[in-house]
A and B are shown apart, each in its own frame.
Chain A
Amino acid sequence: MTDLNRRGLLAASAAGAAFGALPVARARAQAANTIRIGVLNDMSGLYRDVNGPGSVVCARQAVVDSGVTARGINVEIVAGDHQNRPDVGVNIARQWIDRDGVDVILDVPTSSVALAINTVVREKNKVFLNSSAATSDLTGAQCSPNTVHWTYDTYMLAKSTGGAMVRAGGDTWFFITADYAFGHALERDTANFVRAAGGRVLGQVRTPFPGTTDFSSFLVQAQASRAKVIGMANAGGDTINTIKQAAEFGITRRGVKLAALLMFISDVHALGLQTAQGLVCTETFYWDLNDRTRAFTSRVVPNMPQGLRPGMAQAGCYSAVLHYLKTVADMGAAQAKADGAATVARMKAMPTEDDAFGAGTIRADGRRLTPAYLFEVKAPNESRGAWDYYKLLQTTPGEEAFRPIAEGGCALVRS
């Protein structure tokens, strides 16, 4: 490369750096009737298909369906990628609130990021509608008057998969547990529900985390225990690898149920029915559940990235934005913008109602109650078409599925 070219490149890169350092010019004028919603999630990593751009699509659909535009309320939606890093997430959220006048932070997968955003939103008195994070601390020890936890949490997953599975006949369990706090908690909670429902836990094995890729010896141990259900107290890539290797061993074809404690329909789509058949998991939304979920799905699918069907986290974004906008229309945009805690209090006072989840309520601790469905993944010959993946095994009503309000230790309800 010649010297001239190098200089040109150098100048160009310096100019690029200078340009990048300039604040992105945005309208700072805050019209009192403009609501800004910031969708903060994982646009590039592990959870992209679980939330990512699909959540933005669902939030936009909620704006259309709410009909608030006709009532003179403008809604703007911005999106950001927190890259699953708390510091990046906090930086974006603070900047959105301080500089860009964002009123609502939506979605936010990854517990560490969600808990950090929870603190920021409370400090700034805005609204935090969390759909994608699993940690039940959001409505427990770290609950906040500005936060609603919308779609699911670890307690409910453990209760539905553990308790309902026993009722469906899977009464002896063996756990494959990722060896860190999250895995231990998931195993402990699920085991308690299994025992409470009259089942037995025959054993467990701890897998090193992160970095375990070969689960074969753990699966052999699980199989040797002769348990009817193998519970996977892990997440993400660990779950996927365990399922794939279990399929190679033909474990599920021999009648043993594989129970995933944290699993989304996009994971099933990625695995394929051949591999995932017989798998059991809990979700609060399935696109093919009833006429209303199918109607909702047909509205958003044309805009979904890569033709994905919405999963529960994305449907949760739709439902949360819809309910929020109803509340805003009810109390007036100016008031809703001024006081996040008051807005959330009004949201709690109103029952939720939408196509994706049907009727629901929001508890004083910020937990939204919605039924939990235990699904089994269909075998390839049972599936009638694209995305026909689940058959319903059991339904746990919202009031039973989530942790009782008194056990969470939320300071908002102690008084």
Chain B
Amino acid sequence: MASETTAGAIASPRDEIGFWGFSKPQLAALAVLIAFIAVAPYFLYPVFLMKLLCFALFACAFNLLIGYVGLLSFGHAAYFGMGGYIAGHTAKVWGLTPELAVLAGAAFACVQGWIFGWIAIRRQGIYFAMITLALAQMVYFFCLQAPFTGGEDGIQAIPRGSLFGVISLEPDMTMYWFVAAVFLAGFLFIHRIIHSPYGQVLKAIRENEPRATSLGYRTDDYKLVAFILSATISGVAGGVKSLVFGIATLTDVFWAMSGEAVLMTLVGGIGTVFGPVVGAAVIVTMQNYLAEMGAWVTVIQGVIFVIIVLAFRRGIVGEIANLLRVKL
């Protein structure tokens, strides 16, 4: 699947790597993205945009694994959800400031990713997906029973607190800039990983693992580090989301959330840097603005998924990139 998505991308002079690993078209796309993030809150509802950015970061983290290492993890909700629970618990009960709460969530997701990744990367393909799913379901059942998560009521009334103990995040706009900063930092970090020498090795493993091994790379170590990075960034996204909404609930650790990450990445375009962002935007927008249509939300979501899979195998951004003959 992964090799298919990149086979269409045609190398051209425009794909020369420039500033911070960005090619010129990518820089243009990044400028559009930053402009959108800067202008959007004045036109669209900030809380909706914050949710969108959290899911975009989550999908980007997931894409790091599926798009660049070729590992389909079906249990990313475990890191996203636990990041949210830990950030929520530390912010509410321990009284940590928001940035520390998010870091605590990320740290937990990192350790979790380390353990789960260490177990899962020993297998490939469907076995890898099933192991990650099984481990994530274990986390779900843990969250259902553990006292600190509040069971099916979740952790409620999590305070947004004050950034560094100084800037109150209660106003939606202040919170928005915090979320936007976290998202951009995460996004650029992922981009940097992909375009580093380490990222090149990851892509080599994706294309042909035995050959990478024969070239002397310890592929398991590379895969494990990628897994941990992806889990950690998912934890950040989950932690920020729980602060935005003031709640951390079972929805975020449920397997359907893992499915949503897959859906967002597929819709946007696997193996493209900007794809998951667009995919998250499409899915979250549908959930939000179609809410008034009731039962039709899931139907429309399904139809769009089928259209994407049948007609645009590369996803929205993948197709645009293919049309313009650039990498995005």
Contacts and interface: CB of A to CB of B under 8 A. Distances in A.
A44 B153 CA distance: 21
Interface string A26-66: 00000000000000000110001000110000000000000
A249 interface: no
Counting contact residues on chain A (CB < 8 A from B), the size range is: 35 or more
A334 interface: no
Interface in A247-296: none
B151 interface: yes
Main secondary structure of the interface of B (DSSP, over half): helix
Given A10-B319, A94-B47, A135-B153, A112 B292 contact: no
Contact of B241 (A82, A87, A118, A120): A87
Nearest to B311: A9
Nearest to B310: A1
Nearest to B54: A87
Interface stretch (A16-24, A189-197, A318-326, A339-347): A16-24
A14 B45 CA distance: 21
Nearest to B296: A44
B312 A86 contact: no
A85 interface: yes
B19 interface: no
A171 interface: no
Nearest to A111: B153
A89 to B, nearest CB: 9
A87 B48 CA distance: 10
B154 A112 contact: yes
Contact of A21 (B281, B294, B316, B320): B281
Contacts of A135: 153
B247 interface: yes
Residue from A23, A88, A135, A142 whose CB has the most chain B CB atoms within 10 Å: A88
B152 A88 contact: no
Given A1-B311, A6-B312, A17-B281, A112 B294 contact: no
B295 interface: yes
A127 to B, nearest CB: 19
A91 interface: yes
B251 interface: yes
A116 B319 contact: no
B295 A87 contact: no
A115 B153 CA distance: 8
> Which of B45, B291, B293 is most buried by chain A, counting CB atoms within 10 A of its CB?
B291
A43 B312 contact: no
A52 to B, nearest CB: 8
A116 B292 contact: no
A48 B295 contact: yes
Looking at chain B, what size class is its interface with the partner chain?
35 or more
Contact of A92 (B246, B291, B293, B298): B291
B294 A53 contact: yes
A44 B247 contact: no
B225 interface: no
B307 interface: yes
B154 A81 contact: no
B295 A44 contact: yes
Contact of B152 (A23, A80, A111): A111
- Select the residue from A6, A13, A79, A118 with max chain B CB neighbours within 10 A: A13
Interface string A129-158: 000000101000010000000000000000
Contacts of A118: 156
A50 to B, nearest CB: 14
B289 to A, nearest CB: 6
B251 A87 contact: yes
A215 interface: no
B316 A86 contact: no
A86 B44 contact: no
A17 B36 CA distance: 15
Contact of B285 (A14, A21, A94): A21
A116 B246 contact: yes
A78 B292 contact: yes
B291 A88 contact: yes
Contacts of A142: 156-157
Interface string B121-153: 000000000000000000000001100000111
B249 interface: yes
Given A17-B282, A87-B51, A88-B287, A6 B311 contact: yes
Contacts of A116: 154, 156, 245-247, 249
B43 interface: yes
B288 interface: yes
A119 interface: yes
A111 B156 CA distance: 11
Contacts of A181: 144-145, 151-153
B267 to A, nearest CB: 9
A137 B297 CA distance: 31
A182 B316 contact: no
B7 interface: no
Nearest to A95: B45
B51 A99 contact: no
Given A80-B291, A88-B287, A17 B316 contact: yes
Nearest to B304: A13
A180 B152 contact: yes
A7 interface: yes
B286 interface: yes
Nearest to B295: A44
29 contacts: A10-B316, A13-B307, A13-B316, A17-B278, A17-B285, A20-B285, A20-B289, A21-B281, A44-B295, A44-B297, A78-B292, A81-B294, A83-B287, A83-B291, A86-B154, A86-B245, A87-B241, A87-B247, A88-B288, A90-B247, A91-B245, A92-B291, A94-B47, A111-B153, A112-B247, A119-B246, A142-B156, A142-B157, A181-B152
Given A13-B304, A23-B43, A91-B48, 5 more contacts: A80-B291, A85-B249, A112-B154, A120-B246, A209-B144
Interface of B: 43-45, 47-48, 51, 144-145, 151-154, 156-157, 172, 241, 245-247, 249-252, 278, 281-282, 285-298, 304, 307-308, 311-312, 316, 319-320, 323
Nearest 6 pairs of A and B residues by beta carbon = A43-B294, A181-B151, A44-B295, A81-B294, A80-B291, A116-B247
Interface of A: 1, 6-7, 9-10, 13-14, 17, 20-21, 23-24, 43-44, 48, 52-53, 78-83, 85-88, 90-92, 94-95, 98-99, 111-112, 115-116, 118-120, 135, 137, 142, 180-182, 209
